[in-house]
Amino acid sequence: MHFPEFKLETYLSRREFSAAYLLCCSDAETWTLSELLKLASPELQQRWEALPLGYDIPSGNATLRETIAQLYPGLGPENILCFAGAEEGIFCTFSRLFGDNTHAIALSPCYQSLRDLPKTFGAQVTDIALRFEDQWQPDLEAIRAAIRPDTQAIIVNSPHNPTGTMLSKENEQALINLCEEHGLTLFADEVYRLLGPKTTEWRAPIASQTGAGISLGVMSKSYGLAGLRVGWIASQNIELLHAIEQTKYYTSICNSVPSELLSCIALEARDTILARNGNIVDHNLSLLDSFMERHAERFSWVRPEGGCCGLVQDHGKENVETLADELLKATGVLIMPGSVYDLTSNTFRIGFGRKNMPEALEHFESFILKG
Ligand SMILES: Cc1ncc(COP(=O)(O)O)c(C=O)c1O
């Protein structure tokens, strides 16, 4: 098995914990333990104080799976399988979907494990390029043409990291139809679901829409609770969920019990949590709209529709990697060059989920104005 260098995680791990301003984050403003506990119902508060720290049900705590299932119309707790973060969910799912003599269709740029882990498990991957000119929407004809007899799955991510765009209704339906017609799995990474500008309209998750779908969710992004390391997949295919659970017995066995309960508290209070996080995103996006207008000659982007990051094209002369290094050194502001996504164009990911983003943007703007 080969695990290629994970460029994005490597880039972040060397900078994220010492940078003063994270202007590239893909997660919402983090909540503290005490803020979260204040949102707990009396029943969950009591459970928190008397929590036994033993093993829990491998597929996920029963209350947690029931609460998560509320996010998936038509599905119940038996349709949910929990993991340590979204990343373990991707790993365990792909270990069962892919092997030698299998094939996957992925869309690039993307979060690297979505494209590279199928290869680690032995699959061949056809990489379909998303293009700025198409507003980052996938080329459905190219996807259709890439389907082979050994294709197992089409892998998508909506809202998308790094562009913040979402599959159009038509493209989503076309992908569902393609997967149903060809007996493929539609693996939908939906870790940014329910976070974004208030105007965003949310359709049902893919796992609710089709028996061919697997939806990936997590506490990290929309809820701002990455430190809990709780993620999940949802699917109508219970046999497949059981097979995937077998891999979890070799990785984490069960979730962290305190994290499971804290996730229950957060999901029960999701309206409050998503409203606060959404307000930050709305405010920051309005600042970015003005910033993009002021610097229209140098920067362009497709305005993100969901999540809290976007991909900016820099038409300046300087290489973005150099710009990012110099910016970090001079101001403590961290952006993320598109090269971590293997993009050759001069692009960078900008994040707007954090409360101190306005200050970070001010530092960034003064830096570029100084030239
Ligand atoms: C699209 C996408 N999927 C999965 C993950 C992994 O999420 P987690 O850190 O919660 O495991 C990330 C993290 O950045 C992501 O952006």
Look at ligand 1, atom 14, and give the residue with the nearest C-alpha. 26
156 lines ligand 1 (CB under 6 A): no
Structure confidence at residue 102 (pLDDT): 98
For residues 350 and 24, what is the distance between their CA atoms, to the nearest angstrom?
4
Please identify, by atom number, the ligand 1 atom nearest to the C-alpha of residue 218. Answer: 10
For residues 103 and 154, what is the distance between their CA atoms, to the nearest angstrom?
9
Q: How many CB atoms lie within 10 A of CB 53?
A: 8
Q: How confident is the model at residue 331 (pLDDT cuts 50, 70, 90)?
A: very high
What pLDDT, in 10s, does the model give residues 287-304?
Answer: 999 999 999 999 999 999
Mean pLDDT of 10-27: 96
Mean pLDDT of 119-143: 98
Q: Which domains does the chain have, with CATH numbers?
A: 7-32+271-370 (3.90.1150.10), 52-268 (3.40.640.10)
Structure confidence at residue 267 (pLDDT): 98
59 alpha-carbon distance from chain centroid: 21
220 lines ligand 1 (CB under 6 A): yes
Contacts of 35 (CB under 8 A, 6+ apart): none
Centre of ligand 1 from the C-alpha of residue 86, in Å = 6
The reply to whether omega before 4 is within 30° of 0 (cis) is no
Mean pLDDT of 330-336: 98
The pTM score is 0.98
Mean pLDDT of 52-76: 98
Please state the three-class secondary structure of 159-226 as a single string. Answer: CCCCCCCCCCHHHHHHHHHHHHHHCCEEEEECCCCCCCCCCCCCCCCHHHHCCCEEEEEECCCCCCCH
Q: How confident is the model at residue 225 (pLDDT cuts 50, 70, 90)?
A: very high
Structure confidence at residue 371 (pLDDT): 80
Please say if the pLDDT value at position 250 is more than 90.
yes
